[in-house]
Amino acid sequence: MVLFVEKPVGVRYTHDEARDDDSDEIKVSSSSTNDTLLIGTCIEKAKPISTKEAGIIFMSDNNETHYHINNSIEQPSSTNHQVIESERIDVCKFILILLVVVGHFIEPYSKVGNTTATTIMHIIYSFHVPAFICISGYCTSIEDSKQRRRKMISNLLIPYLILQLLFCIWYEYIVEHRQNNTTDEDESMVFTPNWSLYNQQPWTLTYPFAHLWYLVSLLTMRIWRPFALEIRYTIPVHILLGFIVGYSTYIGRYLSIHRTVALMPYFLLGCLMKERRYFFPYAKSIRMKLVVLLAIIFLVGAAIFATQQGIPVEIWFQSDPYDTVYGEYSLYGGLFQLACYTWTSIAMVLFFALIPPPSTCGVQYYDAVETETADVQTTTPDEEEVDYSRSYLMRCYDSATHQRRRRPGQALEKEQGTLLARVYLRLAKWGQRSLYAYIIHMAALMLFTQIGYYNHLWEVDSAKDTHELANGWSTTRQVLGTVIMASVLTISLLLRPFFPTCLRCILKPNVDHILFQPKIEEDITSSLEVMQGKKDRSQRERVDHTLYR
């Protein structure tokens, strides 16, 4: 009898092994017909493993037994690690989107010279964009399938085109309305003193509006990612590219190329950490927490010093050439960019060190492995295959009990025993909707500007004692109030009532039947086979962890 088993990734075999290099299966001789399977002759210690323990399903065909891995039997520790890290990442996304909204809402005060707003922006902008880009790289799928490529078009390119059109038309109306109601002859595209969200006139699709650069850069990064990961020492190479791109005065903000090149090292860092199943650690010990606290105090002091020395906040944007940002010191812009990489990396590590994992907050996970194991042992292979697909495609919905079955490693907010655990899972849920808040908050900022929320800043900017008025208690109090207001607004945008269907139609339009060939149905069928463990590389990686731990 010949046994067939999918080859685990990362396991080496001797030359006497009978293997077909053109297939993903290997032939292994077996001298017994019991439930023990010895996979080849591994260079390392080969250990007989029970097929029931390994989660292997028997399928007979022409006197040959095919062994397929059933991943619902046993979940390796790496899977649970990814689930836990995903919820920690979602909490990080919530905090980061909160900082993004706060930074944008207080930027008009920084433009008129308020030191409190400028200091807050130095602190926020020193890490929040690189951290977001790093998380985007970590959350990007490693697989490069046709369905993934089509999602990049439907979830990034098309939303950008629609939002670029809507925001540019609205912004041009706001600026034109302001110019008609004032005696100022300045025809620039500013809508608050010294600040413009979009200065291309007439507007065009090749220069992203304000915050929409993220969609363009993310699309470009995902396209370039497979090629970048093939390069040896890819992160140092892309740091060198970020060093060089600032000297070019022709790129600017065209298609957000400058920003994409400068931020690409953070994206690749997230991709590499995902491949190695590693993320920024949490400061567990008291000594580590003390070190983090001292480092944060140092960074805050450095932000205050930068504000007093008049260092512009634009150094953190990484979107403009050196001669625009540094002026007469543009020759040393490359050194400043390397210092920026160092500073943002340290600040990013400190930020992630402050976010605890779910276990630290008392989050309890519920495992459905025992129930699914019992189902497999009492059903035929065909029935098991149907139940397996249902648990993934119907989100663990049990037709017998008409209830949703818990997936392995799932944590429910309402069943947590402590308030801290429930709050943690709630923040994680809000963090999953961060993209929607990112898109809507700029519309809210424009609406606040249109109704006159920042009108008093025009008087401050035109006064003779601008510095005194901008740093007076009245303006500083408005800055602190704006911080609170922006935080409340962010939470409001992340709630379900602000999650309308019309917005989902813009950010995630269903255009498969309009733009793409009908062959996508075959791709979906292929994806289902991948999910069932027939042709997926990740399934073989989990086999490796299951059989050789």
Rounded to 10°, the helix 234-245/257-275 angle is 170
In a domain? residue 448:
yes
What residues contact 72, with CB distance under 8 A and at least 6 apart? 55, 369, 372, 373, 376, 388, 391, 408
Confidence of residue 457 (pLDDT cuts 50, 70, 90): very high
374 and 355 in one domain?
A: no
Q: Which class for 337: exposed (0-12), middle (13-18), buried (19 or more C-beta within 10 A)?
A: buried
Among the residue ranges 32-41, 246-255, 329-338, 494-503, the one predicted with the least confidence is 32-41
Q: Which residues pair with 19 in a beta bridge?
A: 26
Q: Report which of 131, 88, 76, 423 is spatially closest to residue 281, judged by C-alpha positions.
A: 88
In a domain? residue 517:
no
Give the Cβ contact number of residue 45 at 10 Å. Answer: 6
Q: How far apart are CA 209 and CA 423, in angstroms?
A: 35
Sequence-separated contacts (24+) of 26-32 with Cβ below 8 Å: 27/2, 27/3, 28/2, 28/3, 28/4, 29/2, 29/3, 30/1, 30/2, 30/3
Q: Report which of 103, 101, 89 is spatially closest to residue 140, judged by C-alpha positions.
A: 89
Q: Which class for 382: exposed (0-12), middle (13-18), buried (19 or more C-beta within 10 A)?
A: exposed
Q: Report which of 421, 419, 411 is spatially closest to residue 362, judged by C-alpha positions.
A: 421
148 or 56: which leads in pLDDT: 148
Which range has highest mean pLDDT (84-98, 254-268, 487-501, 506-520)? 254-268
484 or 21: which leads in pLDDT: 484
Q: Which residues pair with 195 in a beta bridge?
A: 192
Which range has highest mean pLDDT (100-109, 195-204, 363-372, 462-471)? 100-109
- pLDDT over 90 at 462, yes or no: no
Q: Which helix H or strand E contains 6, and what residues bound it? A: strand 2-6
The pLDDT of residue 485 is 96
Sequence-separated contacts (24+) of 356-361 with Cβ below 8 Å: 356/88, 356/282, 357/84, 357/85, 357/88, 357/282, 358/84, 358/87, 358/88, 358/411, 358/421, 358/424, 358/425, 359/84, 360/282, 360/284, 361/418, 361/420, 361/421, 361/423, 361/424
pLDDT (tens digit per residue) in 396-418: 444 444 444 555 556 788 888 89
Q: How far apart are CA 64 and CA 4, in angstroms?
A: 8
Confidence of residue 96 (pLDDT cuts 50, 70, 90): very high
Confidence of residue 64 (pLDDT cuts 50, 70, 90): very low
The pLDDT of residue 173 is 86
Q: Report which of 61, 167, 178, 192 is spatially closest to residue 457, judged by C-alpha positions.
A: 192
10 and 90 in one domain?
A: no
DSSP 351-413: HHHTS--GGGGT---B--HHHHHHHHHTS-HHHHHHHHHHHHHTTSEETTTTEEPPPTTB--G
In a domain? residue 317:
yes
284 or 85: which leads in pLDDT: 284
Q: What is the mean pLDDT of the chain?
A: 76
- pLDDT over 50 at 217, yes or no: yes
Q: What is the mean pLDDT of residues 12-38?
A: 39
- CA-only gyration radius of the chain, Å: 27
377 and 351 in one domain?
A: no
In a domain? residue 209:
yes
292 and 151 in one domain?
A: yes
Q: What is the mean pLDDT of residues 185-202?
A: 75
22 or 431: which leads in pLDDT: 431
153 and 89 in one domain?
A: yes
Q: What is the DSSP letter of 281?
A: P
The pLDDT of residue 531 is 60
Q: What is the mean pLDDT of residues 147-159?
A: 89
Confidence of residue 540 (pLDDT cuts 50, 70, 90): low
Q: How far apart are CA 86 and CA 358, in angstroms?
A: 10
Name the residue range of residue 30's domain.
Answer: 2-71+533-547
Q: What is the mean pLDDT of residues 246-264?
A: 92
What residues contact 289, with CB distance under 8 A and at least 6 apart? 283
249 and 180 in one domain?
A: yes
Confidence of residue 340 (pLDDT cuts 50, 70, 90): very high
- pLDDT over 60 at 39, yes or no: no
The pLDDT of residue 63 is 44
Q: How far apart are CA 207 and CA 74, in angstroms?
A: 50
Q: How far apart are CA 536 and CA 532, in angstroms?
A: 8
382 and 253 in one domain?
A: no
In a domain? residue 132:
yes
217 and 125 in one domain?
A: yes
In a domain? residue 50:
yes
Residue 326, CB half-sphere, CA atoms under 13 Å: how many? Answer: 19
In a domain? residue 273:
yes
The b-or-e profile of 130-150 (16+ CB within 10 A means b, else e) is bbbbbbbbbebeeeeeeeeeb
**How many domains in the chain?**
3
The pLDDT of residue 412 is 81
543 and 483 in one domain?
A: no
Q: How far apart are CA 339 and CA 353, in angstroms?
A: 21
Confidence of residue 168 (pLDDT cuts 50, 70, 90): very high
The pLDDT of residue 40 is 37
Q: Which residues pair with 42 in a beta bridge?
A: 13
- pLDDT over 90 at 81, yes or no: no
In a domain? residue 414:
no
297 and 354 in one domain?
A: yes
173 and 59 in one domain?
A: no
270 and 400 in one domain?
A: no
Confidence of residue 99 (pLDDT cuts 50, 70, 90): very high
